[in-house]
Amino acid sequence: MSDDAMTHPLSATDLYHTGIVVPDIEAWKTRLTEVAGHRWTETMAADLPVRLADGERVLPLRYAYSLDAPHIELVQEIPGTPWTPAAHLATHHLGYFCDDLQTTSKRLEEAGFPLEACAVVDGAMAIFAYHLDPWGVRIEIVDRTRIPDFAAYLRSKAPTWQ
């Protein structure tokens, strides 16, 4: 393990997307295409068990990624959850891949980023976790084994007409 990995819970080189929560994914895909030429994956959806401060719930997550780097993730708003847009649609989170979700989560908590939400599989944290510091900076960590080749993942989710 490098000295860097021992002193920092995250690696800057593992930052792979900036997430923005929006009230209408399709409208924002169109808007960002019109102003910046972004191309997008299909909008994906999953009903996912998530642990929140008030307990576990199954949430209807909807999201899409820009195909071109630096990548943007648009996430459909879910009122009453962490997936609520900030005022004026500010950046919602910074997404990092990690190799050990539980250990990285613990290290982020020790660094002052309390756990806000995480996906749950068989009663345990899995897939991703959100950590929110007191100033409002939210970090999403994603188990790298879920998407080992992000470029290939994006290509597999791209519409055939793009």
**Strand positions, DSSP E, 88-162:** 93-98, 115-121, 124-132, 138-143
Three-class SS state of 131: strand
Yes or no: say if 119 and 94 are a contact pair by the CB < 8 Å rule: no
CA distance 58 to 48: 5
**16-57 per-position pLDDT tens digit:** 999 999 999 999 999 999 989 999 999 999 999 999 999 999
pLDDT score for 2: 47
Model pLDDT, residue 121: 95
Record the pTM: 0.86
Which residues have CB under 8 Å from 117's CB, separation 6+?
50, 51, 52, 53, 81, 82, 129, 130
pLDDT tens-digit series, residues 100-158: 999 999 999 999 999 999 999 999 999 999 999 888 889 999 999 999 999 999 999 99
